[in-house]
Amino acid sequence: EADIYQTPRYLVIGTGKKITLECSQTMGHDKMYWYQQDPGMELHLIHYSYGVNSTEKGDLSSESTVSRIRTEHFPLTLESARPSHTSQYLCASSAGQFEAFFGQGTRLTVV
Amino acid sequence: QKEVEQDPGPLSVPEGAIVSLNCTYSNSAFQYFMWYRQYSRKGPELLMYTYSSGNKEDGRFTAQVDKSSKYISLFIRDSQPSDSATYLCAMSPPSGGSNYKLTFGKGTLLTVNP
C-alpha cells in the first residue's frame, strides 16, 4: 500500500467557494503531481513539482493553483469553484522515471 | 492526433481467457512504457514497466513494446475475476531535465466473468 494520502475523498460544494484539496506522502519523494480524471477520459496532468518551492503547470490548463512548501505536502487550491471543476483529482508522487504512486483521489462536485 | 491512443472498451471475457490490451503512440521520444491498473474508486497502481523495446513477463502478465510500430501490449493469461479493473498505459521520455511526466491513455475497462 502506497503511503500517499488525499483528503477529502468526496466533496460537494457550492459555486464560488474556495476549496483546498490536500495531498501528503511519507515516502520522501521529490516529485509530486496532480492529475484530473473524468469518466472514460485520460488522466490529464494539471500541476507538477520536482521539489520544494518548485511548481509547474501541466499539459491541461487549470484554474487551480498549487504550493510546495514541504517535501511531503502538495495541496491544490481552487479560489472560486465552478460546476466545470467537477471531476476526480488524483495526486501522485515518484522518486524516479516511471513508478508514480497515486492517492485514492478526491471526487469533487460543484453545485 | 493524441500522443497516446487506447481503446476504452469495455472488454468482457470469461474466467481463464487470454486478454490482450493495446496502446499506440505518436511521440518517438517515449522510452519508458508502463501499465497501470485502477480498481473502481481507487487510484492507479503500477503493474509493469518496460524500458525501450522488448518483452517483460511477470507471472500471468506479459508486456510487449514494438517501437518500430509505436505499439505496446499487455497480455493477461488465465484471467481471473480479480483482474477486473481499468488498465491504463502510460509513457514517458528519457529521464533528466523536466522529463518526468507521464502521458496516459484513456484506459480499458476489463471485466472477467466467473
Q: Which of B8, B32, B42 sits opposite A97 (nearest CB)?
A: B32
Q: How far apart are CA B110 and CA A7, in angstroms?
A: 28
Residue B105 corresponds to which amino acid? G
Are the beta carbons of B34 and A98 separated by less than 8 Å? Answer: yes
- Digitized pLDDT (tens) for each residue of chain B, 114 residues in all: 788 999 878 999 999 999 999 999 999 989 899 999 999 888 999 999 898 888 999 999 999 999 999 999 999 999 999 999 999 999 988 766 556 788 899 999 999 999
Contacts of B111 (CB under 8 A, 6+ apart): B10, B11, B12, B13, B84
* Mean pLDDT (whole number) for A20-30: 95
Task: Give all strands of the β-sheet with A76-78 in edge-to-edge order.
Answer: A4-7, A19-25, A76-78, A65-66
Which of A4, A36, A55, A97 is the best residue to mutate to test the B interface, defined by the most B CB atoms within 10 Å of its own CB? Answer: A97
For residue B44, the chain A residue with the least C-alpha distance is: A102
Higher pLDDT, A100 or A74: A74
DSSP label of B105: -
For residue B86, the chain A residue with the least C-alpha distance is: A40
Task: Check if B14 contacts A (Cβ < 8 Å).
Answer: no
For residue A31, the chain B residue with the least C-alpha distance is: B100
Count of pairs with CB atoms under 8 A, one residue in A, one in B: 62
pLDDT digit string (tens) for A30-47? Answer: 999 999 999 878 889 999
Q: Which of B43, B95, B100 sits opposite A104 (nearest CB)?
A: B43
CA distance B14 to chain A (A): 23
For residue B48, the chain A residue with the least C-alpha distance is: A99
- CA A6 from centre of chain: 8
Are the beta carbons of A48 and B88 separated by less than 8 Å? Answer: no
